[in-house]
Chain A
Amino acid sequence: MTQRTRYFLTGSSLVLMVGLATGLVAFYNGSLPLGASTMEQSEFTYLPADSTAVAYADVRAIMDSEFRQKLRQVLPTGEEKDKLQAETGIDIERDIDTVVASFSGNRPDPSGAVVLVRGRFNDVQVETLARQHGAQVEEYRGKRMLLMTHDGPRMQPDGTTASAPSVGGLAFLEPGLMALGESAALKRAIDTNATKDDITKNADLMGLANDVRGGSNAWVVGRFDEMAGSPMMPEQVRAHLPAVQLFAVSAHVNGGVNGMIRADTRDDQAAEQLRDVVRGALAAGKLMAGQDAKIGAMLNSLQMTGTGKTVSLSFTVPAEVLDLLNGVAAMQNLGTGGIRK
Chain B
Amino acid sequence: MSNSQKPPSFLYAALRVFDLSLGEMLWSRRTVFMGLVVGLPVLIAVIIRGLYALGAPAMHVNNATVTGPVVFGLMMWAFFIRFSVPVLGVFYGTSLIADEVEDKTITYLFSRPIPRGAVLVGKYLAYLVCTICVVLPSVVLVWLLIVPMGGSLGLHFIDLVKDLGLLALGLAVYGAVFALIGAAMKRPLLIGLLYVFGWETVVMLIPGYLKRFSVAYYLQGLVPHAMPSDSPLSLIQGIFREVPTLSEGLFWMAVICLGSLWLASRTVTRKEYVLEQ
Contacts and interface: CB of A to CB of B under 8 A. Distances in A.
Interface of A: 1-2, 4-5, 8-9, 12-13, 15-16, 18-20, 22-24, 26-31, 35, 211, 214-215, 252, 255-256, 258, 268-269, 272, 275, 279, 283, 293-294, 296-298, 300-301, 303-308, 314, 316, 318-320
B238 A320 contact: no
Contacts of A283: 235, 238-239
Interface in B229-249: 229, 235, 238-239, 241, 243, 245-247
B7 interface: no
Nearest to A29: B154
A8 B131 CA distance: 12
Contacts, number: 135
Which 6 residue pairs of A and B lie closest in terms of their CB atoms, listed nearest first?
A19-B140, A30-B154, A215-B152, A303-B226, A297-B63, A301-B64
A297 B153 contact: no
Contact of B226 (A5, A22, A314, A316): A314
10 contacts: A8-B26, A12-B134, A23-B153, A24-B157, A26-B153, A30-B152, A252-B150, A272-B245, A300-B63, A304-B226
B48 interface: no
Contact of A15 (B137, B153, B161): B137
B160 A23 contact: yes
A214 B155 contact: yes
Given A20-B140, A268-B245, A297 B62 contact: yes
Given A303-B70, A305-B226, A318 B155 contact: no
A296 B62 contact: yes
Given A255-B58, A303-B73, 13 more contacts: A1-B22, A1-B23, A2-B23, A15-B140, A16-B137, A19-B140, A19-B160, A28-B154, A30-B154, A35-B154, A215-B151, A255-B65, A279-B238
Contacts of A5: 22-23, 26-27
A300 B61 contact: yes
B133 interface: yes
Given A2-B23, A255-B58, A30 B155 contact: yes
B141 interface: yes
A276 B77 CA distance: 21
Interface string B14-55: 000001001100110000000000000000000000000000
Contacts of B137: 12, 15-16, 19
B70 A22 contact: no
B23 A308 contact: no
Interface in B198-228: 221-226
